[in-house]
């Protein structure tokens, strides 16, 4: 069972997936220019790098992207970093949607209130994780140990290598926000929660996480 069909890919060579929205759909919160770089340059570079690295690893050619991530996490930091970043970015594009933000549906909201106390406490926890991640990395809402949790990971690290189901990702690498927010990561994270986050995607991932147990 994959962690996310929308982020996974069947086998090498991997491709740059199309964005599930138009590059101007998020203006003024995120500009088309930021997607030109983030998707067209950064995400593309991870795809190019992992394919180049895998040229010399025929034993990994028949594995899907998630299995390449799992295998390389134990054997090759370079392959892992690029493969995980291909997956993380694909997951991130689905974690946001035009006119997103606000509160989730009642079922997910109920689970958030059960596990965080209130929706506002969840937002505080998510902002804390996203702004306190030192250097590059990611903030996540995940389903693990039969409860919702907010976690942060460094660089390319991804929850799926630990068997944890991601519901949402927020990219906090500088390249994710520097064009539109310069050094103001807290403003970018606040905008993510208020205007970008795709709660329908999170709900479908929660259902997958519950089914995995």
In the complex, the residues that contact Fe ion under the rule CB under 5 A are: 171, 173, 176
Q: In the bound complex, what is the minimum distance in angstroms from residue 63's beta carbon to Fe ion?
A: 23
Q: How far is the CB of 212 from Fe ion (least distance, A)?
A: 26
Q: Of the two residues 3 and 173, which places its CB atom closer to Fe ion in the complex? A: 173
End-to-end CA distance of the chain: 11
CA dist., res. 90 & res. 4, Å (int)? 10
Residue showing tokens 């902002």: 127
Residue 118: phi, psi to the nearest 5? Answer: -160, 165
- For Fe ion, the closer of residues 86 and 148 by Cβ is 86
The candidate with the shortest Cα–Cα distance to 110, out of 102, 118, 121, is: 118
Closest contact distance (angstroms) between CB of 65 and Fe ion is: 16
Q: Which residue has the closest beta carbon to Fe ion?
A: 171
**Nearest Cα to Cα of residue 202 among 164, 165, 162, 154:** 165
What does the block give as tokens for 42?
């950064």
**Residue closer to Fe ion (CB basis): 176 or 206:** 176
Residue 35 CA to residue 23 CA, distance in Å, equals 6
CB of 113 to Fe ion, least distance (A): 31
State the burial class of residue 64 (Cβ atoms within 10 Å of its Cβ: 0-12, 13-18, 19+). middle
**Minimum distance from residue 46 beta carbon to Fe ion (Å):** 9
116 or 173, CB closer to Fe ion?
173
Q: Judged by CB, which is closer to Fe ion: 42, or 67?
A: 42
Query: Closest approach of Cβ 152 to Fe ion, in Å?
Result: 14
> Closer to Fe ion at the Cβ: 40 or 117?
40
- Across-strand partners of 151? 140
Q: What is the DSSP letter of 161?
A: G
Helices 106-116 & 199-212 angle (0-180, nearest 10): 70
């Amino acid at each position: 069972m994959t962690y996310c069909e929308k982020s996974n890919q069947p086998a090498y060579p991997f491709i740059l997936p199309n964005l599930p929205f138009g590059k101007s759909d998020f203006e003024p919160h995120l500009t088309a220019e930021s997607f030109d770089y983030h998707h067209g340059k950064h995400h593309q570079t991870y795809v190019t790098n992992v394919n180049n690295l895998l040229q010399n690893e025929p034993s990994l050619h028949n594995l899907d992207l998630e299995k390449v991530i799992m295998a390389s996490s134990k054997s090759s930091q370079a392959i892992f970093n690029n493969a995980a970043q291909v997956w993380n970015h694909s997951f991130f594009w689905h974690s946001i949607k035009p006119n997103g933000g606000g509160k989730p549906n009642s079922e997910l909201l109920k689970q958030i209130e059960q596990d965080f106390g209130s929706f506002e406490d969840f937002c505080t926890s998510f902002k804390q994780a996203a702004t306190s991640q030192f250097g590059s990395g990611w903030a996540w809402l995940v389903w693990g140990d039969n409860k919702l949790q907010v976690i942060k990971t460094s660089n390319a690290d991804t929850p799926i290598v630990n068997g944890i189901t991601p519901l949402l990702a927020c990219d906090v690498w500088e390249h994710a926000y520097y064009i539109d927010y310069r050094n103001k990561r807290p403003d970018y994270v606040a905008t993510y929660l208020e205007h970008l986050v795709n709660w329908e995607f999170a709900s479908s991932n929660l259902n997958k996480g519950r089914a995995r147990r």
